[in-house]
Amino acid sequence: MIESVRFFIRFSMFFLSLVLFAAPASLPAQVTGGESVYAFLDLPASARMAALRGNLLSVADGDVVLAEANPALLRSVEKGALSFSHAFLPAGIQTGYFAYAHRFEKAGLNAHLGLRYIAYGSFQGRDETGAATEMFKAKETALIVGASRQLYERLSLGVNVKVVSSAFEQYNSWGLLGDLGFFYSDTSRNLHLGLVFRQFGRQLTTYADLRERPPYDLRLAVSKRLKYLPFRLTVMYHDLQDWNILYDDPTRKEDQLLLFDESVPQEDKGFAWFDNLARHFTLSGEFLLGKRESLRLRLGYDHQLQREMKVRTYRSLAGFSLGFGLQVKRFRIDYGYAFQHLAGGYHYFTLSTGLRQFGHKKALD
């Protein structure tokens, strides 16, 4: 027992040192406004995560995809769990995620392997005069390897390592990122907490001479299942490392960075402070229906996205999301839709199963 714990700690520190070497500049506050590299890693990895706005850092119920968000959640995943997700984004962009879980019994480790991809489509090349040249494609992929160890009865630790490849015409980049996650579970009160140091690391090779920051984020989530209602509420606070995440839009006074400007009226500063606080939170709820919770209905809300994507002259559902999950014999089918803007949203589909469901239990053991 003690030796396996020591092994996992050494395993974690080894990979984290690989991720963090020469990368102290990536650890300060996240740059908002879409200025970070490998931004596709911030997209939801599955239909369930899309429907719940990606804040499932504190739910361990056997879903292998959740390890992409918090590797410590692997503690509940069965050996041989499989999941495949695909999403249709606006402008013909498509993205997806494949995940597989395994367990190393002697070491007491739960592990997973994930492959994430996004295809932006084909583009017509042009030279400096505007004349057509060769067609080219743009795509990004990430290979994810992670492991989790239950340190105590209520506390688990997990680590992800992500090798990222990005190609835009002749511009290419490689990156090495990592996640460090914690999960605390109090089953007597149906209360669960998740803390994740997410996507810190660096570019190994750059598109040009400029080295860009990864989408680093520090997140804390709390989940509570109600006692007399089959409903689980999750609240996530993101960007703990950066207090001021207001977007500086010069056309909207309330969105300006007014928190520290002494020339701004106090009432405007008060609104900006409250609005900034609210943008750190995402909320989601999941109804768990049926004897075996075979039907799940989901709803999520991201206040930051709602504020940044709304149009002043129109009402919209930007920032909201919804979906469902259905267990059909050996398979779980999930669908999620995320409202991004008046112009459209994201459709996510996920199919999950396990090798144990097909009589491979002895082979896996």
- Cα of 193 vs its chain's centroid, Å: 16
Q: Which residues make Cβ contacts (< 8 Å) with residue 268, sequence separation at least 6?
A: 253, 254, 258
Q: Checking DSSP bridges between strand 94-104 and strand 109-126, what pairing results, if any?
A: antiparallel
228-238-153-224 Cα dihedral, nearest 10 degrees: 0
Q: Which residues make Cβ contacts (< 8 Å) with residue 53, sequence separation at least 6?
A: 44, 236, 282, 283, 284, 300, 301, 302, 321, 338
* pLDDT the model gives residue 21: 54
* pLDDT the model gives residue 14: 58
Q: Which residues make Cβ contacts (< 8 Å) with residue 307, sequence separation at least 6?
A: 247, 255, 275, 279, 319
CB atoms closer than 10 angstroms to residue 160: 28
CB atoms closer than 10 angstroms to residue 346: 20
* pLDDT the model gives residue 5: 52
pTM of the model: 0.85
* pLDDT the model gives residue 162: 96
Low-confidence spans in the chain with pLDDT less than 50: 1, 22, 24-33, 254-257, 363
